């Protein structure tokens, strides 16, 4: 009879507030389906306690952890090494612990890229990204590294958009520019992929980014990073035009899958994880 181990693999998340983060349900469903004795612990960690939380995870020999707001930049001060794309993005949302060393990664953009590839390749495409926050920055970097032809960043504060465009121009072979978002934005002719990387529509099925939808064609792939509701009004309006659409559930699921691959070297079942989220969000939106 083989010995039974009562020690679970520990992973988790540090953020505040954290009670509305469904990642724990998604990843633990994936762990259970894979037969892994692993836990994902959703921790409310205030900014002043981040250093202690990181030391605790290392001391307890966690396999790794996610960092969400407000820790994605602050955690950089507590790491031993940072993956190349995370250095470009300037933020880390996934930390692996290997032999007592902490290595930072960013799976936001990678999760989006994996999801995008289910409907189209970014290679050689003209991309427009709405917003200039952390998600927009991560997505822009990963799309540039994946060979997009041109990336336009659109934001009310044009200087923030230009900072991302300059990052792309200076560090990749991809051209990038910034446009100020004033009034209804008209998507430039020839745009292959339009991405809403803002929080407009999060938790609100009636709100939509101020876009001139008549500027879209059915050849444009329209994506939204918002996972709840999965079918935002923005996507519904784009679908009515005939556009191929991509919801934010795929990005959330895939960044979870990628994170666990980094921590454990195991690939979880994305369908099981997506079904878990759909059940959660479906219940919340009834």
Residue 275 buriedness (CB in 10 A; 0-12 / 13-18 / 19+): middle
Give which of 81, 16, 20, 82 is closest to 49, Cα–Cα: 16
Sheet (strand 94-98) strand order:
38-44, 9-15, 64-67, 94-98, 101-105, 81-82
Hey, how many other C-beta atoms are within 10 angstroms of the C-beta on 9?
A: 17
User: How far lies 275's CA from each of 29, 244, 252, 268, 270, in Å?
Assistant: 9, 21, 12, 13, 8
Task: Show which residues are catalytic.
Answer: 72
Note whether 239 and 41 are within 8 A (CB): no
Phi first, then psi, for residue 173 (nearest 5°) are -90, 5
Is there a cis peptide before residue 229, judged by omega within 30 degrees of 0?
Answer: yes
- CA 9 to CA 64: how far, in whole Å? 10
- Among the listed residues 262, 267, 214, 265, the one whose alpha carbon sits nearest the alpha carbon of residue 241: 214
Going by C-alpha positions, the residue among 76, 111, 96 that lies closest to residue 9 is 96
């Amino acid at each position: 009879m083989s010995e039974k181990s009562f020690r679970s693999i520990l992973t988790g998340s540090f953020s505040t507030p954290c009670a509305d983060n469904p990642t724990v349900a998604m990843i633990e469903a994936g762990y259970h389906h894979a037969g892994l004795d692993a836990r994902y612990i959703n921790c409310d960690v205030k900014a002043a306690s981040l250093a202690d939380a990181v030391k605790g995870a290392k001391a307890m020999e966690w396999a790794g952890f996610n960092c969400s707001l407000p820790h994605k930049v602050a955690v950089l001060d507590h790491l031993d090494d940072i993956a190349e794309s995370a250095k470009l993005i300037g933020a880390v949302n996934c930390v692996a612990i290997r032999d007592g060393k902490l290595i930072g990664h960013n799976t936001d953009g990678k999760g989006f890229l994996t999801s995008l590839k289910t409907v189209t390749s970014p290679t050689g495409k003209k991309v427009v990204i709405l917003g200039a926050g952390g998600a927009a920055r991560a997505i822009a970097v990963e799309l540039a590294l994946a060979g997009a032809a041109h990336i336009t960043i659109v934001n009310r504060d044009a200087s923030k958009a230009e900072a991302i465009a300059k990052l792309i121009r200076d560090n990749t072979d991809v051209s990038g520019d910034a446009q100020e978002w004033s009034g209804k934005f008209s998507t430039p002719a020839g745009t292959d992929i339009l991405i809403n990387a803002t929080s407009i529509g999060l938790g609100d099925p009636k709100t939509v980014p101020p876009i001139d939808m008549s500027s879209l064609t059915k050849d444009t792939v329209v994506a939204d990073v918002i996972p709840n509701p999965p079918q935002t009004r923005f996507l519904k309006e784009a679908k009515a035009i005939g556009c191929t659409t991509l919801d934010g559930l795929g990005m959330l699921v895939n960044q979870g899958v990628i994170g666990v691959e980094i921590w454990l070297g195991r690939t979880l079942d994305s369908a099981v994880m997506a079904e878990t989220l759909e059940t959660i969000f479906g219940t919340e939106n009834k």
